[in-house]
Amino acid sequence: MLRDIQLLASRRAWEFAADAIRLSMLTSTGVINAVRESFQFSIAQVASPMETFGPIPAVIPPGLVFNYGLLPYTPEASAGVRFLHIEPRRVVLDISGPSAALQVGYDGLREILSELRTTEGDPVIGEPIRQLDVSEIRYRMDADLERLVIPEAWQVLRQHLGPDDSSIRFSPSLITSLLPSNELFQGRIPQASQQATLEMRFGTEPGDGVLFSSAPLTSDAHIEMLEALDRALSANE
């Protein structure tokens, strides 16, 4: 059973066809100020966003970066906005709250831009062709994470890595890369949208049982996966 669940972050990218985002118009002072005021951003600037869902084309202007804001998504609840990035082909929103709130923020952005048109009469942001999700969760679970590794393997690891040091503690980390079937493995994948991670939460003791999980899923689907994993690990205890 999962306990003490904290949604650390939910992130979504809306991807667009080439030239569907008109950065030359979005980077005007009026637009930047309108977005900043709506989300109460502390930082708003024309800059190249950091990579989150893949490489970013080098264009002029390079993109828009908004950091540290607030998103009310129900009459009673708000989520902190870690960042809103507008790239040449993506809008990326990252919040400290549930994935369901991401659509509220995206819809709010589109509302701000709804009357802005290009010289051809087109909207400055077109319609997305797909969306990608990532969520990060801190939690406790009843099952022992060591059950991810068979006991015989643990015995070998302990024998060779810490045979004479009783102070050594072992904690498994599971990193699952999502690879297209027609591609070669290129090493550790930097984008969280292409891998799932499960490990002990940094700054905690192994005995605390506090875990961190990142997965390319909405927060609801992520919690559902972790609950299923807990049941699987607890099945034969």
Q: pLDDT tens, 108-135?
A: 999 999 989 988 888 999 999 999 999 9
75 & 178 share domain: no
| Together in a domain, 129 and 170 | no
What pLDDT shows up at residue 121? Answer: 86
Residue 85 lies in a domain: yes
How high is the pLDDT of residue 188? 61
Shared domain check, 143 and 124: no
What's the total number of domains in the chain? 2
Predicted local distance difference test score (pLDDT) of residue 25: 94
> Are 49 and 61 found together in one domain?
yes
Same domain, yes or no: 127 and 20? yes
3 located within any domain: no
Instruction: Note the pLDDT of residue 194.
Output: 79
What pLDDT does 192 receive? Answer: 59
Its domain, for residue 167, covers: 135-234
Quick one: 20 and 120 in the same domain? yes
What does DSSP say about strands 130-141 and 210-215: parallel, antiparallel, or unpaired? Answer: antiparallel
Q: Is residue 75 part of a domain?
A: yes
* 215 sits in which H/E element: strand 210-215
Residues of the chain with pLDDT under 70: 163-166, 184-193, 236-237
* Boundary of a domain, candidates 85, 114, 133: 133
Question: Which residue, of 98, 133, 168, is where some domain finishes?
Answer: 133
Residue 2 belongs to some domain of the structure: no
Q: Beta-carbon neighbour count of residue 168 at 10 Å? A: 10
Using left for φ > 0, alpha for ψ between -120 and 50, and beta otherwise, residue 114 falls in alpha
> For residue 226, what pLDDT is reported?
94
The number of C-alpha atoms within 13 Å of 140 and in the hemisphere containing its C-beta is 10
The per-residue pLDDT for range 57-94, each reduced to its tens digit, is 999 999 999 999 999 998 899 999 999 999 999 999 99
Q: Are residues 118 and 155 in the same domain?
A: no
Looking at the fold, whether 127 and 27 belong to one and the same domain comes out as yes
What does pTM read for this prediction?
0.90
Residues 206 and 173 in one domain: yes
End residue of a domain, out of 133, 148, 166: 133
Specify the pLDDT at position 187.
Answer: 66
